[in-house]
Structure 1
Amino acid sequence: MTDPTLLLTHTVPPETSEALLDALRAEIPDADLLTAATPEETADLLPAADALITGRLDADLLADADIEWVQALSAGVDSYPQEALQERGIALTNASGVHAEPIGEQVLGGMLAFERGFLDAMAQKERTSWERVEGGELHGKTLGIVGVGAIGTRVAKLGSAFGMEVLGTKRDPDTAPEAVDECFGPDGHTELCRRADHLVLACPLTPETEGLIGADELRLLDGDAVLVNVARGEVVDEDALVRALQYGWIRGAALDVFETEPLPADSPLWNLSNVLLTPHMAGSTPKKAERWAGIIGENYRRFGADEALVNRIC
């Protein structure tokens, strides 16, 4: 098989595509790279492409494409037309691992914000009120991770380094990393809810995980527990979470993802004092382009050698 011609589609914004192109030229200098800034340019260049690098993908685009591989720039691919890709025999690979370090650090920051009383201290700062805040410790607490993939593994290592007991769920518990003290199968999330002081959601959005954490699961959490969601908003029943936060079923939540994004202005989450809210930015990092290029470069070489692609979804 010959080396593929890669098309960076218009779905990747200019500020991102420029850095990614520089990184790709360093990683695979001899590659034939095409770039499109508009939907029209993507359509015009599509016949010349063997593979797409894209931020999103409409099924309609596949009708006019003769491509063999789609590289997503996200870890989550729930919005991609996977059935249509499978029917056409087109490989789909994701960017799993690219976001593990920044998201892991964001999770750690969220847990520390609640454990060390940063939210209370910031609220008092706004009131110019000097009041003592009592901080806790992550050391000795129990960390539950729903979905020990690349991101969950990094969270586990950070939690373990802080002296936390680490529990997790994974499709194959036998492949859990050493940092996880006890691992359960995909249906073990209720056990994590029952035992975790900090429950971290790091699983992909699938039909099985949609609505995974609802009122029943939130009731299993201790009243001093914190929920951290860096997965997808739909993994949690948001109405049930709002009730849990309003009525003190749990201590608080650090949320980077939501059922509707941007988060509507009338969402109660904006005004809850026990919520740390960030605008779906946990994966942001200045090192993203070089990490993307590393995955794309590896798959470029494997594609040309007719070898199995890394991070293949379908």
Structure 2
Amino acid sequence: MTQHSKPVVTVLTAPEEQEPPGMDALRARADVRFACDEPTLRETLPGTEIMMVTDFRTDALEAAWHTADKLKWIHATSAGVDALMFPDLIKGEVTVTNARGIFDRTIAEYVLCTILMFAKDFPNSIRLQMKHQWKHRDTERAEGKQVLVVGAGSIGRQIGRLAGAAGLKPHGIARKARKEDPDFVAVHGNDDLYEQLGHADFVVIAAPLTPQTEGLFDEKAFKAMKQSARLINIGRGPIVKTDDLVAALRNGDIAGAGLDVFEEEPLPEDHPLWDMENVTMTAHMAGDFIGWKRALTDQFLENFDRWHKGEELFNLVDKELGYAGSK
């Protein structure tokens, strides 16, 4: 790249999606192109050095991949990169980064809110309010309850931190056990999952979707949980086998579920989860705060500065593992 030339950046969006906010700052420093499907990718990828991906159209990118003759770096504007990965990208030399850190705190706030909603029986209070019914009930204390965070990474750490601040006892599950961790009572290895499920009052899925985690929460996992426990999933939908979850809720194997992600999104209107009184649901929005789209662009621009200076990028994704490391 000569001193006066601008790097070419292709921004991959959904077909009807508006361009991300903050693009003018990028245009001042790069030749910015936009793509939304396979034909536009075939036009824009030749000469592209950097991609910013806001919509994970993996099939289109994989089909047009052979036209990416100069691509060096792909930045995913999400924490999870599972929908972006395909064999040629995983095995190739292209660097991948993600949006680790942007959504951690807001997702942790969502999880703490969900825990407190269950403990204080807010779903029933809202239903009673809508019916104009005055009904006194005793509710649970959250303090002292054990929270198991499956996926003790960046997001999981924030969940543990807030849970601990609220008087709960956070434990984590990670690839490897950690003897000491400031945000958890203890961090256990993956092999201890089923044993730890039996101790938790709230089980929070904060793990990335990988071949190892897909379908991890099935009938066996729900049978291992306490019947009084609640499941909270802010990770990825396919980590939970939905049919097994519905059966566990109906059978009383677990007491409830707070779900932000699902195997099928949007969740079909006739799905039984909609009508379960021990289930709370949101539309894949746990981390989305007012201004999050601009925050994602600003994060990319910060990494773009590092790339332009020849410095090491942050939020580097281990493409084989499918998530960013702990550095």
Give the ranges of 4+ consecutive aligned residues of structure 1 lying more than 6 Å apart after TM superposition.
none
The alignment status of 1:31 with 2:34, answered yes or no, reads: no
Letter in 2 for 1:19: P
Contact 1:253–1:275 under 8 Å retained in 2:
yes
Counterpart secondary structure, 1:63: helix
When the two chains are superposed, the root-mean-square deviation of aligned CA atoms in Å is 2.2
Contact 2:9–2:31 under 8 Å retained in 1:
yes
Residue by residue over 1:50-73, the C-alpha shift from the partner in whole angstroms, topping out at 9 and shown as x without a partner, is 111012142112111121111111
Aligned to 1:21: 23
| Distance in structure 2 (CA, Å) of the matches to 1:203 and 1:246 | 25
| Distance in structure 2 (CA, Å) of the matches to 1:290 and 1:18 | 7
Contact 1:4–1:303 under 8 Å retained in 2:
no
The alignment status of 1:134 with 2:134, answered yes or no, reads: no
Aligned to 2:161: 157
Report 1:55-204 matches (<5 A): 55-56=55-56, 57=58, 58-66=61-69, 67-174=71-178, 177-204=181-208
Letter in 1 for 2:63: D
Contact 1:124–1:130 under 8 Å retained in 2:
yes
Aligned to 2:9: 6
TM-score by length of 1: 0.90
- Between 1 and 2, higher relative CO (CA 8 Å, sep ≥ 6) is seen in 1
Counterpart secondary structure, 1:119: helix
Residue by residue over 1:154-202, the C-alpha shift from the partner in whole angstroms, topping out at 9 and shown as x without a partner, is 1111101001111001224338741111111122221331111110000
Letter in 2 for 1:62: W
| Distance in structure 2 (CA, Å) of the matches to 1:86 and 1:248 | 41
CA 1:145/1:38 → structure 2, altered by over 3 Å: closer, same or farther? closer
| Distance in structure 1 (CA, Å) of the matches to 2:147 and 2:65 | 42
Q: Sequence identity, in percent?
A: 31
Contact 2:7–2:31 under 8 Å retained in 1:
no
| Distance in structure 1 (CA, Å) of the matches to 2:217 and 2:274 | 20
| Distance in structure 1 (CA, Å) of the matches to 2:10 and 2:229 | 46
Letter in 1 for 2:64: L
Counterpart secondary structure, 1:174: coil
Contact 1:20–1:292 under 8 Å retained in 2:
no
What are structure 1's unaligned runs of at least 5 residues? Answer: none
Which structure dedicates a bigger proportion of its chain to helix?
A: 1
